[in-house]
């Protein structure tokens, strides 16, 4: 049997790059890898189905699955994971000084269904103790107005959400009409050093480590989707792709751990990173598969249902096909 031709669209990650160069091959698959930014990849895959295998956000993918009409299946490969305590921006001279001050305030979000925002609101409710319905929410782009919601939402009447079309969230903060913004992408003014916009947690790494130690949640931003028509015709591609992703990740981690040569043009970039990650997360500090990620996946599904990004409560087993629930390892 000849190999089947598949195209994978994904952001440029070192831990996937060996699949692009051919150094790692998925058995039975002639894989073409193309790189785009995440937002473009998500949009073109979800609405045009331009390629067979795609990186996809957890927020978008689980929302589609909860509606019962997802034209794809997921495999538990997680190329992007980011804690989001660093993504809470506040007005420097505003009323918010600590997490409890978020209650009753005006908070901006780029999209309600953005994965980063789902995790941040989950932290706000379950860790900071601030009720979702106590906040006045505003939706727009962080730096440019007019951003539209990609997911179909299932919001309850208790959620006060206003769509803004003529101003960015950052502009609203600077003009006194927002107290904070939850955004994966930073405000331009913050990046430029404008003192009027600051992070709620300038010591975010300490906060994020403490959050993981208390909850076991290491936020998963993106996963991998396979078009349903491809999976139904060739169900074996799921396992074979998972094996290739695992191999590519292992090769990347081996490179990072090799101090003979520098892997990035940054002094000391990798010297303590592997040891630090092992100390916090354990030996397998960037795991694929279901069991080592169960706490994070269950929390995310709970957050999504509570926040109305899901249309029904999902179980982890609803996300992934039986073929990958127990991934084979040599």
Domains of the chain with bracketed CATH: 4-82+219-249+288-322 (3.40.190.10), 85-215 (3.40.190.10)
What is the C-alpha separation between 234 and 229, in angstroms, rounded? 9
| pLDDT-based confidence at residue 270 (cuts at 50, 70, 90) | low
Least confident of 67-71, 140-144, 320-324: 320-324
Give the 3-state secondary structure of residue 29: strand
Burial of 226 (0-12, 13-18, 19+ CB in 10 A): buried
Percent of the chain's residues with pLDDT above 90: 84
Integer angstrom CA distances of residue 323 from 104, 174, 289 = 46, 51, 12
Task: Give per-residue pLDDT as tens, 205-242.
Answer: 999 999 999 999 999 999 999 999 999 999 999 999 99
What is the C-alpha separation between 142 and 85, in angstroms, rounded? 17
Asked if residues 117 and 109 have their Cβ atoms less than 8 Å apart, the reply is yes
Residue range 151-174: mean pLDDT, rounded: 96
- Count CB-CB contacts under 10 A for residue 160: 14
DSSP string across 53-87: EEEEEHHHHHHHHHHT--SEEEEEEEEEE---GGG
> Is residue 100 predicted with pLDDT exceeding 90?
yes
Integer angstrom CA distances of residue 305 from 121, 160, 243, 315 = 12, 17, 31, 11
| pLDDT-based confidence at residue 330 (cuts at 50, 70, 90) | very low
Q: What is the pLDDT of residue 57?
A: 97
Residue 241 CA, distance from chain mean position:
20
Radius of gyration of the chain (CA): 20
Q: What is the pLDDT of residue 327?
A: 57
User: What tokens appear for 274 in the block?
Assistant: 């592997």
Q: Which helix (H) or strand (E) holds 216?
A: none
Q: What is the pLDDT of residue 219?
A: 98
Give the 3-state secondary structure of residue 330: coil
- Provide the mean pLDDT of the chain: 94
Residue range 189-215: mean pLDDT, rounded: 97
Q: What is the pLDDT of residue 36?
A: 95
Q: What is the pLDDT of residue 273?
A: 76
Residue range 124-131: mean pLDDT, rounded: 98
Asked if residues 120 and 84 have their Cβ atoms less than 8 Å apart, the reply is yes
What is the C-alpha separation between 266 and 285, in angstroms, rounded? 22
What is the C-alpha separation between 110 and 154, in angstroms, rounded? 17
Residue range 48-55: mean pLDDT, rounded: 96
Pairing mode, strands 4-10 and 53-57: parallel
User: What tokens appear for 143 in the block?
Assistant: 């730096």
């Amino acid at each position: 049997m000849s190999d089947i031709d598949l195209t994978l669209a994904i952001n440029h990650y070192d831990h996937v790059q060996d699949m692009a160069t051919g150094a790692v091959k998925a058995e039975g698959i002639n894989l073409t890898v193309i790189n785009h930014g995440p937002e473009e990849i998500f949009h073109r895959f979800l609405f045009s189905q331009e390629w067979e295998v795609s990186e996809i956000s957890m927020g978008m993918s689980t929302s589609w699955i909860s509606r019962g009409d997802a034209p794809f299946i997921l495999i538990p490969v997680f190329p992007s994971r980011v804690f989001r305590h660093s993504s809470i921006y506040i007005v420097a001279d505003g009323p918010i000084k600590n997490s409890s001050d978020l209650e009753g305030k005006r908070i901006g979000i780029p999209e309600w269904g953005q994965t980063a925002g789902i995790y941040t609101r989950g932290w706000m409710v379950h860790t900071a103790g601030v009720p979702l319905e106590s906040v006045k929410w505003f939706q727009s782009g962080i730096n440019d107005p007019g951003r539209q919601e990609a997911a179909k939402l299932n919001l309850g009447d208790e959620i006060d959400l206003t769509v803004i079309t003529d101003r960015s969230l950052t502009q609203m903060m600077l003009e006194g009409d927002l107290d904070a913004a939850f955004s994966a992408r930073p405000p331009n003014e913050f990046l430029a050093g404008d003192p009027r916009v600051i992070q709620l947690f300038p010591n975010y790494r300490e906060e994020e480590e403490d959050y993981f130690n208390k909850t076991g949640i290491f936020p998963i931003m993106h996963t991998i989707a396979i078009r349903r028509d491809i999976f139904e015709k060739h169900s074996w591609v799921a396992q074979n792709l998972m094996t290739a992703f695992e191999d590519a990740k292992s090769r990347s981690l081996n490179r990072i751990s090799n101090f003979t040569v520098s892997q990035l043009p940054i002094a000391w970039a990798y010297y303590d990173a592997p040891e630090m990650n092992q100390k916090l997360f354990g030996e397998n500090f960037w795991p694929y598969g279901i069991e080592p990620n169960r706490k994070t996946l269950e929390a995310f599904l709970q957050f999504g249902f509570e926040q109305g990004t899901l249309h029904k409560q999902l179980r982890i087993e609803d996300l992934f096909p039986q073929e990958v629930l127990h991934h084979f390892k040599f």
